[in-house]
Structure 1
Amino acid sequence: MKKIFQPFLARIALFALLISGALHAQSPAQVRIIPGETKFVADGFGVVAAIALDEPSPFRVFTLDDPWRLVVDFPTLDWNGLTPDIVADTPALQALRFGQFTRDWSRLVFDLNQPLALSEVEFDTTTNSLHLRLSPVSASAFAAQAGAPAGVEWQVNTPLDIQGEAGLPIVAIDAGHGGVDPGAIRGYVLEKDLTLVVAQELRTALLATGRYRVAMIRETDTFVSLRDRVRLARAAGAHVLLSLHANTAERGRARGTSVYNLSDEASDAETAAIVEFENRADLLAGIDLDGEEDLIAEILVDMAQRETNLLSENLGAMLSDSLLAVLDSGAKSRHRWAGFRVLKAPDIPSVLLELGFMSTPGDLEDMQSETWRAALNAQIIATLDAWFVQMAETRALMRN
């Protein structure tokens, strides 16, 4: 048996076609995608695709609505050599993202310029290629057929490894984006890579003080949903959550670091655009958790939330002043407010730090500079030192 073919007649969703009858046990080595043999070709108003691997692999493929997306999952792949511009000459495909999705699965997410239904799915075990045909359908027909198959796990949660001596305050460091979600992109520089480098260096610097323990929300290039970033920090017993990101601006010459606290309304138009981008991370990675339970309603009363917000705002003000004085003297203020999902832990003071603008050459150069990052981390640590003293005093006053 050379090929496994699946015509789609009703609901167009294929879950984990494990092809166990045709394929034998997987090699212990990681399956590798072969970019030179991976093709996406216009087929009238549709698309014919071939995703080439170096050996047979299980897979699953399905479509998602609002926005129109095609999702293809494989067990963990080696992506070396694959670039998003591989779909540039296929008008029906708007963009491609790929990377690690959960501990066990890698994911490709294709943004579609029009509603396209899967009409054929075929794995050729002779060439080790997954062949897909996408055909135009109406928006209503696409919506009726779209959806993740039952049993797809969005995230495999494992407890965070907490480093440092017991009894010290725990700082949770959240390197923004990761895995299938690259974040902002500037040339060959990805936001997910910048934030991970800063997070790893900050961890090292915090541990070197001997005053903190550290919990990394992600330590490698993996995807973690926005909801799970908060839950992982809470499960680790974090005393504070620092979420690291990098901006990009489509217009103008915005520059410099910014510190954000939680608010229902964005403090300015620039912030509103950033929030929309950051809060869509889960959706763009192929999941939508808007219908999930409200974390704030789930676990804490309003009074405790107000205390957390006050402590968060104190930290945000102190950190923005510190960074402004040392790294960003040309700006009037870098303390802002916005509804970032990752700041919604009701019992953990949290701030989101935008390191700079990848669209501004000077900022991008700074973020790639080890010297600049060391200065940044020194200011973060000095601020945390002062804030933990102030936090104890504030809590004592609030509870008297």
Structure 2
Amino acid sequence: MFVIRVTVFVLIGLLSLAPQLSAAVPENKQQIAHAPEDGWTMPSAIVLIDAGHGGIDGGATAGNTLEKDINLAIAQKLYLLLNSQGIPAVLNRTGDYALSEENRWHVSRSRHKRDLSQRRQLTDEIETTMLVSLHVNWTKDRSKHGPLVLHQSTGESALLAFCIQDTLNRQQQTAFYPREGKPFYLLRKVDQPAVIVEMGFISHEGDRTMLTDPREQLRVASAIASGIRQYKWITR
């Protein structure tokens, strides 16, 4: 049995609490319930939110700004928004730790491989219908900016990516198209529709300012949530 860290929130009046929401940080809790006959049972939800990187793995950087912190902050806000809108969601990490630390089953000297395999394993252990993995882009070209959604080769994943790309484009006033992410482990190994959402470029000053501002983080999370709602409406 794997230790899963997920968070349970009761959110009342989300819209009236938007300023507080922008600074909300959930406590680490385990959402693993006892079944009366079968022993342990795992949580279930519609969306598994993958907060990229964490712990020793800071992800992309720009000065003292770390991708892992941006990913977690927006993931927490997306979690709150989705659950308040009747779309059950779970987070695969609720604090600054590496998921490789929870992987006791994959024998590998590579921390990176253990981290990725743990994220993929959670899609089997937790009953969900889609995976949304949050990341931030980086490039040497400081002029590049804007969101990019990567998807699997399946039509369901591509549709989810187009829905999220569209809402992020409108939020950030861009006009980019999603792309197939063939080299990415999660997109190759996860069975259900999965996307990697590159929410902006940490290497671009304007994007970095947006991605580190709590109010703007809420707008990014709201755009992603809107894209997920569009996908659910189309596929209902």
1:310 match: 155
* Alpha-carbon offset, residue 178 of structure 1: 0.7
User: Does residue 205 of structure 1 match 2:81?
Assistant: yes
Q: Note if contact 2:44-2:128 (Cα within 8 Å) is conserved in structure 1.
A: no
Q: Which residue of the partner structure matches residue 137 of structure 2?
A: 247
Check conservation: 2:6, 2:92, Cα contact below 8 A. Answer: no
Q: 2:72 aligns with which of 193, 196, 201?
A: 196
Note the alpha carbon deviations across 1:105-133, whole angstroms, 9 max, x for none. xxxxxxxxxxxxxxxxxxxxxxxxxxxxx
- Matched letter for residue 93 of structure 2: R
Indicate conservation of the 8 Å contact 1:248/1:357, yes or no.
yes
Identify which of structures 1 and 2 has the higher relative contact order when contacts are C-alpha pairs closer than 8 Å and 6+ apart. Answer: 2
| Counterpart AA for 2:4 | P
- Tell me: CA distance 1:170–1:262, structure 2 relative to 1, closer, same or farther (3 Å): same
The one-letter code matched in structure 2 to 1:181 is: D
Supply the distance in 2 between the matched residues of 1:237 and 1:177 (Cα, whole angstroms).
22
Structure 2, unaligned runs of 5 or more = 11-42, 100-114
Tell me the CA shift for residue 364 of structure 1: 0.2
* Distance change >3 Å, CA 346–CA 175, structure 1 → 2: closer
Task: Give, in whole Å, the separation in 1 of the partners of 2:52 and 2:209.
Answer: 19
Asked if the contact 1:184–1:191 (Cα under 8 Å) also holds between the matched residues in 2, the reply is: yes
Tell me the amino acid that sits aligned with residue 369 of structure 1.
D
How many residues align structurally? 188
Q: How far apart are the structure 1 equivalents of 2:230 and 2:161? A: 12
Q: Is 1:386 equivalent to 2:206 in the alignment?
A: no
2:123 is matched with: 233
1:218 positional shift: 1.0
Distance 1:221 1:231 in 2: 20
Distance 2:84 2:74 in 1: 15
1:374 corresponds to: 218
Q: Are the aligned partners of 1:173 and 1:214 in contact in 2 as well (CA < 8 Å)?
A: yes
Deviation at 1:187, TM superposition (A): 0.5
State the secondary structure of the residue aligned to 1:237: coil
- What amino acid maps onto 1:355 in structure 2? M
Measured in 1, the distance between the counterparts of 2:7 and 2:203 equals 34
Measured against aligned partners, the alpha-carbon deviations of 1:272-318 in whole angstroms (never above 9, x if no partner) come to xxxxxxxxxxxxxxxxxxxxxxxxxxxxxxxxxxxxx2111101011
TM-score by length of 1: 0.44
CA 1:212 to 1:162, structure 2 compared with 1: closer, same or farther past 3 Å? farther
**Paired residue for 1:335, among 178, 190, 204?**
178
The answer as to whether partners of 2:6 and 2:93 remain within 8 angstroms in 1 is no
* Aligned-partner SS, 1:356: strand
Q: Identical aligned pairs, as a percentage? A: 28
C-alpha distance in 2 between matches for 1:164 and 1:350: 24
Larger CA Rg, structure 1 vs 2? 1
Q: Which residue of 1 aligns with 2:192?
A: 348
The structure-2 alpha-carbon separation of the partners of 1:348 and 1:164, relative to structure 1 and needing over 3 Å to count, comes to farther
**Change in CA separation of 1:346 and 1:247 when aligned onto 2, cut-off 3 Å:** closer
SS at match of 2:232: helix
Instruction: Name whichever structure is richer in strand by fraction.
Output: 1
- What is the CA deviation profile of residues 190-232 of structure 1, one whole-angstrom value per residue up to 9, with x for unaligned ones? 11111111111111111222x1222111111111211110111
Question: Contact (CA 8 Å) 1:164, 1:212: kept in 2 or not?
Answer: no
